[in-house]
Amino acid sequence: MIKRICLFASSSNYLESSYYSSAAELGRLIGLGGYDLVYGGSNLGLMWACASEAKANGAKITGVMPEKLQNLGVNTNGCDEFYVTVGMRERKAKIDSISDAVVALAGGFGTLEELSEMIVQKQLGYNKKPIVLLNTNGFYNKLNEFFEEVINQKFANKNVRNLYYLADSPQDVMDYLRNYKPSELNVDKNAIYAR
C-alpha cells in the first residue's frame, strides 16, 4: 500500500512559472488524497512548491537533507519530520527506506541521478515501487527518447520500459499511483541484460 510518496525535483527558484503551478497542484492532490510526502527538505524550487501545498492540504511532510546543504541554510522549518545525513548517498538511502513510491518532477543533475538509481534498484529487484516522471511542458521527452535509444541499441533490455511511467499531469500521476499493482519482476539475467 502506498502511503509515503518520495519527491525528486528541482530546487531552482528561477524556472518558468508553469513548473511551480504543476508542482503545487501535485502537492495539493497528494494532501487531499491522504498521502504523505518525503523530499529533500529544501525551502526552494519545485521541491518546496510541492511540499508546502501537500502540507497545506493535510499531508505530513518529511525532509531529508545532507549536512552540507543544511549548513547553507536552505532547509525549511515546515517539515513534520526532518533528518540530517552525512552526505548525498546516505540521503538517498534514507529517502528510499521511508517511502513507498517515487515521483520525479522536472529537475537538474541531482534529480536525474536520483531517478536513475531508483530505476536500477527496481530493475534489479530491490524494490517494486512505482516510479513516475511528471512530464510538465514535455520536460522529460528528450530523456524518454534517450531511454529508447539505450533500449534500441541494446544497452538495456526492452523490459525496462515497464519500470517507470511518464505522466502528463499531476492528476495522471495520482491516478497511476492509486491504481498501481506491483508486478513480480523477473530478475534473471535474460530479463536484466539486453537481448
Poorest-confidence range of 3-7, 32-36, 67-71, 166-170? 67-71
Count structural domains, the chain.
1
Domain span at 162: 4-181+185-192
Separation of alpha carbons 121 and 129, rounded Å = 10
CATH value at residue 99: 3.40.50.450
170, three cell numbers: 499531476
Residue 58 · residue 32 · CB < 8 Å: yes
List the beta strands (DSSP E) in 51-195.
61-66, 81-85, 101-104, 131-134, 165-167
SS3 105: coil
Q: What is the pTM of this model?
A: 0.94
Tens of pLDDT along 4-57?
Answer: 999 999 999 999 999 999 999 999 999 999 999 999 999 999 999 999 999 999
